[in-house]
Structure 1
């Protein structure tokens, strides 16, 4: 059932095009197994948005892969381009990617970004930070760059999570060079653990190993584009793309090998087997996998009052099968799965839970609104 409301006008402010609807663009009603919900469309014209973060004042930060950071009013969808962002290599899957707030953002106003940028030998994933002052990101500095730089525009990883001790976790994809995920002398196909200033914690698992990169926390990952802290255990959870099948949810542990490409449920895109199915001796199997692949991106555990019967469920965006997936868990076992937003037929890049319990969803398209899910029970 669709209730079309109003359309947005694009206006020019200081030469920057902004979406400024007085009301959400449209509202849809959808039924799920446990809730009836309304889909609101906020703003218009985002160009391949990649990630979002909630500011304490209620505004949102939304990244766009071509290199733009936007500050968005959550009520009207109006947005203002944030200046002071880094120059990015917007090529293939690369560009401006994740955004995260420092755990003490209320005191230091520090915003972290990941992005692909050029250097000697090609491109790589970078981590940087700046201080948000209204619509400016001041004093932006590069903190870390994954090595080596390489050609090609795929598998940058790039999700950021801070744990309760203030350590920063950063996913790095295998950059299409799968064998490097098993080699400790590079960052490709790894989960990194850093301090908030980009330095290396002294208790990282490979910090004393001469032939290993000290930032590595775990390895054998293909391309992790979803990562979150579990709301109760506070452990890091991540999911990663498989090839043709074999998308995985993994629970990272220090120094542990998660198998890629020596163990996978996926196959080559042209058909042949790549490696034995997990479990394989010496390699940690996933707690869940999608075969065939859904191409997961974005990840959020639901906590809030807006959708009480979703409490504790895990939400994951799907790029290939074009839906929002809901997973019910019993510990680490998936006991129920449901696909939402299938009728939209949009690639879902990110999903986050707002402080008020509403779900925000970013479709990955050349011109797209931001979606907000509200209860309609």
Structure 2
């Protein structure tokens, strides 16, 4: 992330956006292309997830519980009706949003949220519904997944939604933070600290790694995760890559492979917030996957994308990650499964970045996690 000037209007295509803008733009220097940033929309309450519709408009979640439709010109709708009630205490609320791979035929939208239980307990849940043609309502809403067990915590919900190339839905989940139950990240009879893989209707694919195993929840894909708030498919391999929050130190980049154990809370490159060791006090252990890359101090990752667009050919194949604590857009260059270089952009803006999405125009669209949150569009700077 880097510094730049806000422009108040958005548009359908990059050329249209620039042509319609009369304000001067500040050019931002990176290690690669010259870029600029404009504000597509603002006034959003802690926006969390963004998904583009086929007409290039957007669906944006607000953690407080509202789902908004945002036009390419930046007009923000009233809340879309029909969503279930969310528990928006602390880190809870309305979280990620994703379109069904067959959205143009079925109109289905998926979203994750904090779902209240009895006695103040909560868990992450996923619902889906059909978006009305006028973009004002969700119809035929059904909850397709509820994390088990529900616990008395309002932290570490995950949760990103990613469809794979076969139409299966990955849901990333947190271990819900507290010492009393974070150890369930290592237990296969619990959804805490897991990534799960579902069919679009919430049923379990037959080839999930724990299908048919006694004492294991069949939806589990991988385990030993802390709080995964960044996930994306690698377009070259089709595998799910994820980035999860560490404690004090130790944010991790991993490839989420079936049946693998990623170590939390037995091992970590970080320490507990009070400075005491995590689990064994070690960063590695036999039978537990070592991360591809880790951050100490943390960036507090949220949202990620493998860039594939034509606007920035220099960045094709790179990963972009939102940073909450680092208040930066983090760019990672890859050499196979190794991170070969890191660059931090937009840090001068000092805004928490909650989500990163590649737009249909090849620009990067960012959500700022603020009470007056915004959608930023990062695009190639005009030649002077």
| TM-score when normalising by structure 2 | 0.91
Question: Equivalent residue of 2:183, what SS?
Answer: helix
How much does 1:185 deviate?
A: 1.1
Please give the per-residue CA displacement for 1:343-372, whole angstroms capped at 9, x wherever unaligned. 110111000001210100001000122100
Match of 2:336 in 1: 331
Residue aligning to 1:263:
267
**CA distance in structure 2 between the partners assigned to 1:252 and 1:26 by the alignment:** 44
CA offsets per residue over residues 78-116 of structure 1, 9 Å max, x none?
434311111100011010000000011110010001001
Q: How does 1:221-370 map to 2 (within 5 A)?
A: 221-274=225-278, 275-370=280-375
Deviation for aligned residue 1:120: 2.4
Structure 1 residues 69-80: aligned runs within 5 Å: 69-80=67-78
Helix, strand or coil at the partner of 2:184: helix
Deviation per CA, 1:108-128: give whole Å up to 9, x if none.
010001001111251110111
SS of structure 2 residue aligned to 1:184: coil
Asked if structure 2 preserves the Cα contact closer than 8 Å seen for 1:168 and 1:193, the reply is yes
Report which stretch shifted further, 277-286 or 301-310: 277-286
Change in Cα spacing, 1:178 to 1:59, as seen in structure 2 (3 Å) is same
Could you tell me how far apart the structure 2 residues matched to 1:294 and 1:33 are?
Answer: 20
CA RMSD of aligned residues (A): 1.9
Q: Please tell me whether the aligned partners of residues 5 and 37 of structure 2 are also in contact (alpha carbons under 8 angstroms).
A: no
**Cα pair distance change 1:3/1:315, threshold 3 Å:** closer
After superposition, the Cα gap between the structure-2 partners of 1:38 and 1:290, relative to the gap in structure 1 and judged at 3 Å, is same
Within 1, Cα distance between the matches of 2:230 and 2:26?
Answer: 26
Q: Which has the higher strand share?
A: 1
Indicate conservation of the 8 Å contact 2:9/2:39, yes or no: no
Q: 1:26 to 1:216 in 2, by over 3 A?
A: farther
Q: How far apart are residue 278 of structure 1 and its match?
A: 3.6
1:242-278 alpha-carbon deviations (Å, 9 max, x no partner)? 0001100111111111100111101011112213444
> What per-residue deviation string (whole Å, max 9, x for no partner) do you get for residues 138-170 of structure 1?
111111100111112100011111111111110
2:88 aligned partner: 90
C-alpha deviations, 1:265-311, integer Å up to 9, x for none?
01011112213444310111111111111110000011111111111
- Determine if contact 2:47/2:374 at 8 Å carries over to the other structure: no
Alignment of 1:112-191 (within 5 A): 112-121=110-119, 122-133=121-132, 134=134, 135-176=136-177, 177-191=181-195
Of 37, 52, 55 in structure 1, the residue corresponding to residue 53 of structure 2 is 55
CA distance in 1, matches of 2:274, 2:97: 35
| 8 A contact 1:4–1:26 mirrored in 2 | no
By relative contact order (CA 8 Å, sep 6+), the higher-ranking structure is: 2
Structure 2: where are the runs of 5+ without partners?
11-19
Q: Which moved more, 1:273-282 or 1:303-312?
A: 273-282
- The match for 1:195 is 199
